[in-house]
Amino acid sequence: EVQLLASGGGLVQPGGSLRLSCAASGFTFSSNAMSWVRQAPGKGLEWVSSDSGHSTYYADSVKGRFTISRDNSKNTLFLQMNSLRAEDTAVYYCVKNSGGSCYSGLGYWGQGTLVTVSS
Amino acid sequence: DIVMTQSPDSLAVSLGERATINCKSSQSVLYSSNKKNYLAWYQQKPGHPPKLLISWAFTRDSGVPDRFSGSGSGTDFTLTISSLQAEDVAVYYCQQYYSTPLTFGGGTKVEIK
């Protein structure tokens, strides 16, 4: 059974940093593309970043501030978020892509972790 | 960026009746080399993460009831729920994965009439 357990969210001041983690199990993590997607309170879905293991991709809204990475030895995905802004406030979902490519459906979503950027 | 436009924003359908959601992309998401449409549909129930229903425009994910079907090609796509059940109350999103940034439609809220 696929499991994605995201952690690391919380309340942070504007300009601050947070590091999200996502512990994955139930599939071969190293050969699967992974993504982060966020959802602001009461709003729709916004893609943030994807990592195929060979390439990384970012939304323009986070490029230069967020960094996606993975530790295949620990089956863990990360999202380092710097220079946080109020508009980054959202539930952040860790997502398993449907295959090894980032150009694939978002096959399985974890429960998400809430990031609140406020003074 | 490819803009995804869904319609309607919401719809109310009687139990057992058909629900139809439309999705239009600002440019084609049909990849010519493999003839595949890079288009997915998701269902999000209140308080839950989204769930993949359909990928490649019409391929149901494992375990998805066959009352859900996807159709269309190029820039125009449709998600149809053939006989609405109470458990289908949710917001539905289309998404293109043809190019980055990956983009979603604004969502369609489906309710029971």
Report how many Cβ contacts below 8 Å link chain A to chain B. 62
Residues in chain B within 8 Å Cβ distance of A37: 50
Residues 37-76, chain B: which have Cβ within 8 Å of A? 38, 40, 42, 44, 49-52, 55-56, 61
Residue pLDDT, tens place only, B39-58? 999 999 999 999 999 999 99
- In the DSSP assignment, the letter for residue B75 is T
Whether the pLDDT of residue B71 is over 90: the answer is yes
pLDDT of A99: 86
Residues in chain A within 8 Å Cβ distance of B105: 44
Distance CA A67, CA A82 (A): 9
Residue pLDDT, tens place only, B10-40? 999 999 999 999 999 999 999 999 999 999 9
Among the partner residues A44, A105, A110, nearest to B107 by beta-carbon distance: A44
- How does the average pLDDT of chain B come out, rounded? 98
pLDDT of B80: 98
User: In this predicted model, which residue has the larger pLDDT, B83 or A102?
Assistant: B83
Q: Is B20 exposed, middle or buried (0-12, 13-18, 19+ CB in 10 A)?
A: middle
User: Is B102 in contact with A104 (Cβ distance < 8 A)?
Assistant: no
pLDDT of B67: 98
> How much is the average pLDDT of A63-76?
98
Cβ atoms of B57 and B39 within 8 Å: the answer is yes
The pLDDT confidence band at residue A100, using thresholds 50, 70 and 90, is: confident
**3-class SS letters over chain A:** CCEEEEECCEEECCCCCEEEEEEEECCCHHHCCEEEEEECCCCCEEEEEEECCCCEEECCCCCCCEEEEEECCCCEEEEEECCCCHHHCEEEEEEEECCCCCCCCEEEECCCEEEEECC
